[in-house]
Amino acid sequence: MSASIPEKLDNQDDQSSNFDIASFQHKRLGAWDLYTKRDTWSWSVVITSPLGSIGTLSTYRKDLVYVLRTLGDLWDIAGGLIVLYFLAIVPNMFLPSIGLWYSGQLIKQVEIAIETRVIDPDELFKIIVIKFLCSILQLALDFISEKTQAMLRLRSRRAYIARVARAVSRLDVPTASDPIIQSKLAQLAGQAFTTGSSMHFPSATAAVAVLSQSTTVASTIISIISQVWVLFAVLRAQPDGVALAATTAVRYVFSLLYSQGFLGIANSTWAATTENQAYIRMMGLYNSVCYTKHRQEIYTNNLATYMSDAFKGLQDQLGDINSQPFWDLHEELFDSGATMKQLRAFLETALKELPKGLFMLRAIHTPLSIPVSMASLNVVEQSTSSFLQQFVNMRWHIYHFSASMKTLRVLYEIEVAENTISDGKVPYPENAQNLRSGISIEFRDVSFKYPGKVDYAVRHISFRVEAGQLCVIVGTNGSGKSTLLKLLTRVYDVSEGEILVDGIDIKTLKLHDLHRAMSVLFQDYSHFQLSLRDNIAIGDPENASDDDRVLEAARLSGVDSIIEKLPEKYDTYLHRPVQDIYNNIPPGVKKLFGRETTVNAGRMGVGSHDKTDTWLSGGQMQKLAVARTFMRSLPDDPRVGLLLFDEPSAHLDPRAEYDLFARLRTLRGEKTMFFSTHRFGNLTRHADLILYMHDSAIIETGTHEQLLERGGQYAELWKIQAQAFI
């Protein structure tokens, strides 16, 4: 969906600062719409150090293995382009030196002509032709290498972003929660470059950057060595060679110390937005697999493959350009600033004339040396400028190589990171039809500590639930109820004891098969940065495109009536994964593109997420999570035999809780169900087994009637809650 150009870019209260469309230019950048205010561009200068990172040359030796691996990956992505790139870059390593060499030969011919009054036309013609061909060929090869790099960046960016999504989505919860892994994930996902509106995807561009920087540094070293030799030879033969070189170098020292900064980034007024739904959904999927808070649901619902494939499909749908983040297309922002560009060009031109001034002074004193001096001046200018410019370029390429290689190293490490939860090898179940009648579960003396914790979360837990039974786990907050369900789904493995599923050790079962046979709603559920429809549909990846199933799940959870009241209904985003970007907005602007701004005027910032989440109460959000679980909890679904609900009514009012319990009893059919709660509700009366937990242990088991007859802690708490309604 393409965005239409609005009459006003904001709905601000202060009419004195008006984003009138007449004062803005509109450009389409891939999936983005960029609005720039006319005549507001400015320019800034950044003072840089010429020797900042030469010391990181050692990085090349340390990362040689990764460099070779990156080249292999790029070969798999676009081998033909790699061949073309090297065919362009290798000859270019030697062409500057060849050109300078023949410039020196030209000076010799001039000296011979002055001394002997004889010109060798054949030799002179050969020198001129070779120099001309070197110049033309160098320009052509530069053009080919630049275009090839651009095509490689597009190809590799798509491939590496999808690769990041695949590598991150496969991690289990304990592995993804490890501080070291989390630090790497932050680097990999580009959070340091994230505005929320678009990620710069450092890992996506790093591969081609490594290729470009490696070859550039290698070619620069070769060129510098050869050009130093030529320059030394020329200076040694000319009395004013050192002075010529010094005056020539001034212009390049100026460029070295004062590099052009971002044009217009500080003081220009502009805003960018996207309404491309495919791009927004693609970014929502990327954010979902990269954020740790979604790890549990992705892992237990077998979403890794689904989300990776959906991401890749949207990439293919959008194509190379439209799938790019804003900051990878931002060069369009900086096309202006002509005045300051001209000023800089004027200064550089003036400095460029210094060597010619020295030449004129020498010509006045020694007129006969004019031909030789003119040729020497030309060679010295070429040698000095080429040497200094390549030195500067090499410094920057070495610096960026280190950063790019660090990012790629993290990706390769994440790809081979071993999950804490080892996969089993036994397929489950042997007969899929058996799942209709539920799954038997047995805990045998199970104890568990969370990683890095000293105290046990659960201790010496033993119980058995037969296939098709309803088990309700009751206890106060922190008693260990949620932990039992996380152990049952292998979010974590037990520290001691064992869990049996249909009599089979749970650790021996294939994780994908185990999770496919379950439908889970955790107490600490999360909602993805996707539309409401996708948030429900993702509960059953195999039927995510079935709209009727989505609507039925929403109806059963009671969230359908809430969604229908929203302006965009099922297309509403709880958290918009792509934010608007803007700079230097006038005072008084409170909204851009219908969304609230989040920084003060005059500063660069991003538009806030849609506020849909503030419209939904805790109970409504929980109903949405229940709807996602219902996608795989229908009685006629033969793939699921175990239903797990962790505090699904914690935020519901009594009426909504009663309706939920009634639906759960109906939907369960003959399937096994575990239901944890800290409240004594209607469902406990129908439980085949109640596990009453306190202080990380099960202290009472039985049916509701049995536990009341015993008069223990369960009965005591039941009476306390019952008295609240008397």
* Cβ neighbours for 68, distance < 8 A, ≥ 6 positions apart: none
Q: Whose structure tokens read 């959906």?
A: 310
Contact (CB, 8 A) for 211 and 70:
yes
pLDDT band at 242 (very low <50, low <70, confident <90, very high): low
| pLDDT reported for residue 265 | 44
pLDDT at residue 301 tops 50 = yes
pLDDT at residue 630 tops 60 = yes
| pLDDT reported for residue 508 | 93
| pLDDT reported for residue 443 | 95
pLDDT at residue 196 tops 70 = no
Cα torsion angle, 622, 181, 183, 458, sign: positive
The H or E element containing residue 76 is: helix 64-92
Average pLDDT over residues 619-629: 83
**Beta-strand runs (E) in 663-718:** 672-677, 689-694, 697-702
User: φ and ψ at 693, to 5 degrees?
Assistant: -110, 145
Contact (CB, 8 A) for 666 and 553:
no
| pLDDT reported for residue 459 | 93
Q: Give the Cα separation of 245 and 259 in Å (integer).
A: 22
Q: Give the Cα separation of 439 and 469 in Å (integer).
A: 9
Q: Which CATH number fits domain 436-517+641-726: 3.40.50.2000, 1.10.290.10, 3.30.479.30, 3.40.50.300?
A: 3.40.50.300
* Orientation of helix 202-237 relative to helix 121-169, angle to 10°: 160
| pLDDT reported for residue 689 | 93
Alpha helices in 417-480 (DSSP H): none
Average pLDDT over residues 434-460: 90
Contact (CB, 8 A) for 271 and 27:
no
pLDDT digits (tens, 9 = 90+) for 466-503: 998 999 998 887 888 889 999 999 999 999 999 999 99
Same fold, 436-517+641-726 and 526-587+608-639: yes
Average pLDDT over residues 359-368: 56
More confident residue, 682 or 546: 546
| pLDDT reported for residue 595 | 65
| pLDDT reported for residue 598 | 57
Q: What are the tokens at 270?
A: 């502009």
Q: Give the Cα separation of 511 and 524 in Å (integer).
A: 21
Average pLDDT over residues 203-223: 75
pLDDT band at 16 (very low <50, low <70, confident <90, very high): very low
Q: Give the Cα separation of 288 and 301 in Å (integer).
A: 14
pLDDT digits (tens, 9 = 90+) for 270-284: 778 888 888 888 888
| pLDDT reported for residue 378 | 64
Q: Give the Cα separation of 517 and 545 in Å (integer).
A: 20
| pLDDT reported for residue 500 | 95
Q: Give the Cα separation of 320 and 157 in Å (integer).
A: 8
CATH topology for the 526-587+608-639 domain: Rossmann fold (3.40.50)
pLDDT at residue 660 tops 50 = yes
| pLDDT reported for residue 193 | 34
Q: Give the Cα separation of 690 and 692 in Å (integer).
A: 6
pTM of the full structure: 0.66
The residues facing 645 across adjacent strands are: 521, 675
Q: What are the tokens at 433?
A: 């039809």
| pLDDT reported for residue 240 | 62
* Cβ neighbours for 14, distance < 8 A, ≥ 6 positions apart: 587, 588, 589
pLDDT band at 692 (very low <50, low <70, confident <90, very high): very high
Q: Give the Cα separation of 213 and 79 in Å (integer).
A: 18
Task: Of 469-478, 597-606, 648-657, give the lowest mean pLDDT range.
Answer: 597-606
Q: Give the Cα separation of 305 and 286 in Å (integer).
A: 13
Q: Give the Cα separation of 330 and 424 in Å (integer).
A: 47
Task: Of 155-164, 197-206, 393-402, give the lowest mean pLDDT range.
Answer: 197-206
Q: What angle do CA 76, 77, 78 make, to 5 degrees?
A: 100
The residues facing 36 across adjacent strands are: 25, 270
| pLDDT reported for residue 609 | 40
| pLDDT reported for residue 258 | 52
Q: From 521, 509, 502, select the one nearest 464 (Cα to Cα).
A: 502
Q: What are the tokens at 677?
A: 């709660």
Which class for 576: exposed (0-12), middle (13-18), buried (19 or more C-beta within 10 A)? buried
Average pLDDT over residues 680-706: 86
pLDDT at residue 715 tops 60 = yes
| pLDDT reported for residue 345 | 64
pLDDT digits (tens, 9 = 90+) for 97-142: 787 777 767 767 766 776 677 777 888 888 888 888 888 888 888 8
Average pLDDT over residues 713-721: 82
* Cβ neighbours for 210, distance < 8 A, ≥ 6 positions apart: 67, 70, 401, 404, 405, 408
Average pLDDT over residues 616-621: 74
Q: What is the 3-state secondary structure (H, E, C) of 466-500?
A: CCCCEEEEEECCCCCHHHHHHHHCCCCCCCEEEEE
More confident residue, 692 or 237: 692
pLDDT digits (tens, 9 = 90+) for 314-350: 888 887 667 777 766 665 455 444 445 556 666 666 6
Q: What mean pLDDT is reported for the chain?
A: 74
Q: Where are the domains of the chain?
A: 45-416, 436-517+641-726, 526-587+608-639
More confident residue, 205 or 687: 687
Q: From 551, 525, 549, 531, select the one nearest 632 (Cα to Cα).
A: 549
| pLDDT reported for residue 484 | 92
CA dist 291 → 59, 168, 169, 218, 602 (Å): 30, 9, 10, 39, 31
Q: What is the 3-state secondary structure (H, E, C) of 362-387?
A: HHHHCHHHHHHHHHHHHHHHHHHHHH
pLDDT at residue 4 tops 60 = no
Q: In the chain, what percentage of residues exceed pLDDT 90?
A: 10
What's at 514, amino acid-wise?
Answer: L
